[in-house]
Structure 1
Amino acid sequence: MKFIEQRKMAFGKMKRADHFLKEGDEFIFSGKKVEIIETPGHSRGSLSYYVDGLLFSGDVLFQNSVGRTDLPGGNMEELLYSIKEKLMKLPGETRVFPGHGPETTLAMEKAFNGYLR
């Protein structure tokens, strides 16, 4: 927030959130139901979004890797719990779109991602 405050000429006045998304919340975006999955580990507030067999995992899960945990609020144990106990419960054919890099599927990550063994 300090970064934005220092550059308010470029961003305009900073807005405050009036609602914070949490586990189990749903909303409609472009006619599609989006489900919220809390996936802490990369950061405390990490969220993943599941819609119609697509998972937008941000910096939590990547092709053959997982997000870094060396930043403030990062925690490898929480990250692996988020992936194994939440994301991997979704269907294997779920297509995963990470915050960086190529897409993958949960089945591919279950089979080949060394962090998930």
Structure 2
Amino acid sequence: MGFLPQCPKVKTVIVMEDQLEGIAAPQTLPQDVTLVPFKELAKSNPQAVEIPKTEADDVAILMYTSGSTGNPKGVELTHTNILASMMSFMVQMKNLKVGDRFLSFLPLAHIMELVSELTAI
């Protein structure tokens, strides 16, 4: 985790156990940073991993723009925004059936890619 020395306020890193391989040996972390596996956190503090109740107009994600028409910025998308986009995608793709394939060239950070993958799932 080569960027951690540049982030002095980060004191704890929570990782999914299957993501540990390849990130770095824990001994290479700065001495004041603690590595906590998610399963340990869930056992020791169940409230820390509870999914909070959400409302339709709560912010679900921040989608960052590329800045092609101005400065890059984060756009707040609510659960309703995402669901409405998914419904539109479903109307356009009504002929999809089991066995069809989906080819994408957009990055997951693009809203159309996010919506199309969520809809397919």
TM-score normalized with structure 1 length? 0.24
Structure richer in helix, relative to its length: 2
Larger radius of gyration: 2
Structure of higher RCO (CA pairs closer than 8 Å, 6+ residues apart): 1
TM-score under structure 2 length normalisation = 0.24
